Amino acid sequence: MHNNFIKHFIIALIIFSNQSFGKEFNELFTIYEPIENSSSIESSINSSFNNLIFRISGSNSPSNIWKIINSGSSRKDFIISYSIKNYDKRSFLEVKFNQDKIISKFKELAIPIIGYSRPVIFFLIEIESGSETSYFVSQDSKNGLDSIFINSLGRLSELRGLFLDVPIFDLEDQKVISNSDILFSPKEYLISKYNFDELVDIKLINLGLNEWSFSGDIETSISNELYKEDIESVFVDYVESVINNAFKDLIIDTSTIFSLQIDVSGINSYEDYKVSKDKLLKLIRVSNLEILSFKNNTIRYKATIMGDMTALEKDIINNSFFNINNLKQSEQLNLTYIK
C-alpha cells in the first residue's frame, strides 16, 4: 500500500476539515492511481476511471461502469489530463476527469451521484496494548499497530472521497492528556476540539499473546497469530459500513429534474460573480445556470436542479459560501453569497 502518499493525503484532509468543517471534497474528480512504470498507463487509466465511478456513485457495482461503456463512451472520453507524480519515491498517475461530461453521462443513464458535499467522520481509537499506558491513535502515531488504522483510513478516504479524521496532538494536548485524573475525561476533551458529522469510538485491548478485543462501536474478539491482519479486516469492514450509511442521504437522483429561479445577493465584483457561480455549480445538483438579470448586487439565475428541493437546501446549508434567505418558496431560492 502506498503508505507515504496516504499519510500526506490524510493530513491534507484533516487540515482542511478543521478549517472549514470538511464538507467540500475539492479533488472529487481527480484520482491518484499507483503506477509501476509508463508501460502500465493504460491499465492505470482504466483503474482510475473505475475508482472515480465508485467514488461519485457510492456503489462499487460494476454495472454502472458497464452502463457507461455500453452507451458508446470509452473511459478516455472523460479525461481532461493525466500525468505521473512522484511521492516519496513512489509513482502515481494523477488523472483529472471532466466533471461536466461525467455528470451529463450520469444524467443520461439515470445513475445516482454523490456531490462535493461529503461527511466528516471522526475516529477516536484507544489502544491498551499491555506494554504501555492506554493511548489514543493520532496522525503522529508511528508504531505498527497504529499504522493499521492510519493507513486504512487514508486509503478509504482517497478511494471513497470523504473525510476520515483522527486527532492531531499538539504540545498542549499531550500535556492535558498526560496530566488527567479521575475527574477529567481525555475522550470528552478530544471530542470537544473537533467538528464532525459522525463519531466512531472504539477501544482495542490486548488480552494476552495474540489475543485482542474490540469494544465500543466495534464489538468482537480476535485470537490468531495473524492478529494484525484480522484487526485490519474487522476495522475496514466496519468503516466501509459507516461510509455506506453516511452516504445514503447524500445520493442524488439524477432522473429527477426541475427548474428553479435562484437569486444570489452580495455580488459586488466580477470576482464575486465568478467564485459564487463556481460554488453553485460545485453543488452538482445545480446546472445550466442562465443569467436572467443583474441589479442591486443581485444576480438572478434560471437553473436546472437534480433531485429534490429539500436535499438542495441541505447541500447549501452544509456549504460555507451561501446563506439561505428563504426556505418556503418551491420555485425560487434566495441566497446571500458569503466571501
Q: What does the pLDDT average to over 273-285?
A: 91
DSSP character for 338?
-
pLDDT > 50? residue 17: no
CB contact at 8 A, 266 and 313: no
Q: What is the pLDDT of residues 173-215, one digit of tens each?
A: 878 777 766 567 888 888 898 889 999 999 999 999 999 999 9
Q: Tell me which of 141 and 56 has the higher pLDDT.
A: 56
d(CA 301, CA 281): 12
d(CA 198, CA 165): 10
What does pTM read for this prediction?
Answer: 0.84
pLDDT score at 309: 87
Which distant-in-sequence residues (6+ apart) come within 8 Å of 188 by Cβ? none
Q: What does the pLDDT average to over 216-238?
A: 95
Band (pLDDT 50/70/90 cuts) for residue 330 is: low
d(CA 314, CA 332): 15
pLDDT > 80? residue 251: yes
pLDDT score at 14: 40
d(CA 297, CA 334): 13
Question: How would DSSP label each residue in 7-20?
Answer: HHHHHHHHHHHHHH
Q: What does the pLDDT average to over 141-145?
A: 80
pLDDT score at 12: 43
